[in-house]
Amino acid sequence: MISRYTRQEMGHVWSDANKFAKWLEVELAATDTLAEAGQVPKEAAAAIRARAKIDVARIHELESRVKHDVIAFTMAVGESIDDPAAARWLHYGMTSNDVVDTAQALQVRDASKIIERALVMFGEILDLRAHEFRHTPQIGRTHGIHAEPITFGLKIANWFAENQRNIARFRDAAAQMAVGKISGAVGNASHLGPEMEERICKRLGLSVAPVASQVIQRDRHAQYLSALALIAATLEKIALEIRHLQRTEVREASNAAAQPCPTSATPSRASKFAVSLASCVRTCSRRSKTSRCGMSATFPIAPLNASSFRIQRFLWITCFRK
């Protein structure tokens, strides 16, 4: 991930350390469940849970030699257990993607909580701003050309409604991703059986993929990425509109609260970089005292002052006078 555009909380979810921690979480859930069913010695399961540790550097070192991430992972964890009799039960009856795909579902679940929380807060701010500017007149446009007057609140209300649809789509896509598989190399559950698969996934708070092959089927991932793409398209649309309204020749909105941010080439003017897509995404979770949800005013843009409004009003009267 690009650190400049990555929030710390999300960066942690997709870090190697957390990925391997989720792999271990799946392994421990499987070992404990199998021990309860009598398929793994309880002493071995207890030793694995008590001693198993993650060493990212050691895993990478082993992977460079064995050329397989999960084999390197199990070797490194086995070393940390320091009890060959117990460590031999780690990964019992499982294939690599039982661990990788199920753990990825846990990562996606954590990431989805962050994204959904930000979308909900963004919606609350849009709702607040739409009501705040419900009586603020603005020229309407069709194909970029002046049309009937609208209000600034109506524009924001459209963004709010689209964001609500995005939330609904994203929740459905995230639910489709919240599944695991412990059904083996070809998905026939011949080693542990469907009952153990269901119990292990339940222990992890996941549903079971009803049918799988070596992997959880990727149409789920495609739906999830499509939902993210729609969210990104909405944010880009909002960002571009805000940037347009701040253009010198338009000047219908400005970010008066922000400090000027000159560009490297033209230090005498303020940069509109603050309304780039990346900035819109990042600012969804910043703290502020001004919004009712306790988060940042992710939509700090406001119509221009009274003087600029009088100029706009003159233009509107001129355009629509019969």
158 and 264 together in one domain: yes
Domain finish residue from 71, 92, 113: 92
Host domain of residue 78: 1-92
Domain finish residue from 58, 92, 126: 92
Question: Of 226-230, 291-295, 304-308, which one has max mean pLDDT?
Answer: 226-230
15 and 155 together in one domain: no
20: CATH: 1.10.275.10
Domain finish residue from 67, 92, 117: 92
Amino acid at 250: V
Position 181 confidence tier, pLDDT thresholds 50, 70, 90 = very high
Helix (H) or strand (E) segment spanning residue 86? helix 84-87
Mean pLDDT of the 114-123 span = 97
113: CATH: 1.20.200.10
- Mean pLDDT is lowest, of 50-59, 151-160, 309-318, for 309-318
pLDDT score at 266 = 64
pLDDT score at 299 = 44
- Mean pLDDT is lowest, of 21-35, 148-162, 208-222, 272-286, for 272-286
Q: 1 or 59: which carries more pLDDT confidence?
A: 59
What is d(CA 249, CA 240) in angstroms, rounded to the nearest whole number? 15
Is residue 73 within 8 Å of residue 59, measured between CB atoms?
A: yes
268 and 309 together in one domain: yes
pLDDT surpassing 70 at residue 7: yes
Is residue 155 within 8 Å of residue 165, measured between CB atoms?
A: no
pLDDT score at 267 = 58
- Mean pLDDT is lowest, of 3-12, 165-174, 178-187, 193-202, for 3-12
19 and 158 together in one domain: no
Position 290 confidence tier, pLDDT thresholds 50, 70, 90 = very low
pLDDT score at 192 = 96
Position 25 confidence tier, pLDDT thresholds 50, 70, 90 = very high
pLDDT score at 254 = 82
Whole-angstrom distance between the N-terminal and C-terminal Cα of the chain?
A: 57
115 and 254 together in one domain: yes
Position 110 confidence tier, pLDDT thresholds 50, 70, 90 = very high
* Number of domains into which the chain is organized: 2
99 and 88 together in one domain: no
102 and 67 together in one domain: no
154 and 38 together in one domain: no
pLDDT score at 3 = 85
For residue 284, give the nearest of 273, 294, 274, 298 by alpha carbon: 298
Rounded to the nearest 10 degrees, how much is the dihedral formed by the CA atoms of 227, 232, 234, 236? -170
Q: What angle do CA 262, 267, 268 make, to 5 degrees?
A: 100
Query: Rounded mean pLDDT of the chain?
Result: 86
253 and 185 together in one domain: yes
pLDDT surpassing 70 at residue 221: yes
Position 1 confidence tier, pLDDT thresholds 50, 70, 90 = confident
269 and 299 together in one domain: yes
117 and 70 together in one domain: no
φ, ψ for residue 182, nearest 5 deg: -130, 50
What would the DSSP string read from start to end of 225-263? Answer: HHHHHHHHHHHHHHHHHHHHHTSTTT-SEE-TTSPP---
CA quadruple 45, 51, 53, 57: dihedral positive or negative? negative
Per-residue pLDDT tens digits for 136-176: 999 999 999 999 999 999 999 999 999 999 999 999 999 99
296 and 158 together in one domain: yes
